[in-house]
Amino acid sequence: MIRRAIDRFATVKHAVHGAVDLGLTGLAALGADPARRRVPVQQLVAERASVRFHPLEEGGRVEVAAPSARHDPSPGRFAALCATASRGYELRPAGRLEIDDARISLPGGVVMADGAIPSETILQQRFPRSFQYAGVLRAAHGRARPIPEGVFFALPLSLGYYHWLCEILPLAIRASSWPEVAGLPIYVPAGHPPFVREHLAALGLAERCVELGPGVHRAERLHVPTLPSRAEWPSPAHVRLVRDALLGVAPDDGRGPRRVYISRADAGERRLLNEHELVGRLAEHGFTPVCLSGMAPLEQVRLFAGAEHVVAPHGAGTANMIFGPPGMAVMELVGDRHFAPCYQILASALGADHRYVRCEDRRRDLVAPVQAVVDLVAASLYPGGAPAAAR
């Protein structure tokens, strides 16, 4: 509850988390480093009879296409990250982790096996972060409540829509078909966001879900799907799995706009300060402004299922691009303070056209170069040159 209250205010959020992370780094330097409990699954299986791993997906290399176009007069950190993503990345084998006498600490979603945390249940490259430190200590030393055998999804980032949709929900879909866990409860943290409930209900998984409250829980046996990669470097197969599953229950109904501008006007950060001017210029090309926070999750699926061109400031809602039609064009408006390669990677996995425009940072908000955005939009809409009515 305290974390959610802090996270409502972007400047306070980053200051608090930054200060706590700095303090924890100091503790780690003194030897109190919970990250040492993080152990690769292969090592766990070799050292502990209580841990077994059943591989179900092969690893492999993911090739990533570069953005098709950009406006970035002085390429900086985001351009460098795009270049890194364009070199591709490796996926590790993924599958079912079976743990005897497992412990779970909530709400952070830490899974512990005989005092160790399986690396493949952690999304972050840097672990633990400020909001997980206490959870690691509780998982190791806290008094635990017993729960029956079941399936658990480690959800350290499930409050984030992108991470849920592209990295965690695929695990739920995969695990729901495992014959070894048929009939077992699926454990999820209590108090998760409404979009988690709606997606699980839409896919027929809600009736198997059992909510666990904050604290430490202990199961004589626990089944945990493992992650094929770290945060923001997803498995293309997992992305397509979610796409097919949710489009199956919420397909394009033909009533939504085909050209969409996603507004972050009601967000705590990365708002576009000159949005009114940009929306007016984009309207000349048939774009409709939409604020996703007022839409139900399945409405967002339908919106993107019919959207052929999307312009959006960098934000979690753009993850809905996985539901777009083949050849969808996505233009991302980015600053040089908060960014990730995820939408370039999603576009590549889906065969979509990804472009970006570098904006001016104003504290934690953005100011877009309106003419540059319009020019790139026009180049995407009218490859042979804009008709006179659109100039």
Q: What is the percentage of the chain residues whose pLDDT exceeds 70?
A: 86
pLDDT for position 321: 97
The pLDDT value recorded for residue 20 is: 52
- DSSP strands (E only) in the chain: 38-39, 51-57, 60-62, 69-71, 89-91, 94-106, 110-113, 117-118, 144-147, 150-152, 186-189, 209-212, 215-225, 259-262, 288-290, 309-313, 329-334, 353-358, 360-362, 365-367
- Radius of gyration for the chain, computed over Cα atoms and rounded to the nearest angstrom: 22
Domain-embedded: residue 24: no
* pLDDT tops 80 at residue 26: no
Q: What percent of the chain has pLDDT over 90?
A: 71
The answer to whether residue 53 is domain-embedded is no
Nearest-angstrom CA–CA distance, 72 and 86: 17
pLDDT over 60 at 28, yes or no: no
CATH of the domain at 329: 3.40.50
Q: What residue numbers bound the domain in which 369 lies?
A: 60-91+231-391
Query: Same domain for 127 and 71?
Result: no
Instruction: State whether residue 189 is helix, strand or coil.
Output: strand
State whether 202 and 347 are in the same domain: no
Average pLDDT, integer, range 275-289: 97
The pLDDT of residue 266 is: 87
Are residues 247 and 376 part of one domain?
Answer: yes
pLDDT bin (cut points 50, 70, 90) of residue 135 is confident
Domain boundary among 169, 193, 227: 227
What's the confidence (pLDDT) of residue 128? Answer: 63
Among 207, 227, 247, residue at a domain's last position: 227
Residue 269 included in any domain: yes
Q: What is the mean pLDDT of the chain?
A: 88
User: Total domain count for the chain?
Assistant: 2
| Interval 145-184: pLDDT, tens | 999 999 998 665 556 899 999 999 999 999 998 999 999 9
More confident residue, 288 or 15: 288
Residue 22 lies in a domain: no
What pLDDT is attached to residue 386? 59
pLDDT, one tens digit per residue, over 38-73 is 899 999 999 999 999 999 999 999 999 999 999 999
Identify the domain boundary among 227, 255, 273.
227
Amino acid 14: pLDDT? 46
Residue 12 scores a pLDDT above 70: no
212 and 291 both lie in a single domain? no
Beta-strand relationship, 353-358 and 69-71: parallel
Shared domain for 36 and 171, answered yes or no, is yes
Does the residue 54 lie in any domain?
no
pTM of structure: 0.87
pLDDT (tens digit, 9 = 90+) per residue, 236-272? 999 999 999 999 999 999 999 999 999 999 888 889 9
Residues 65 and 107 in one domain: no
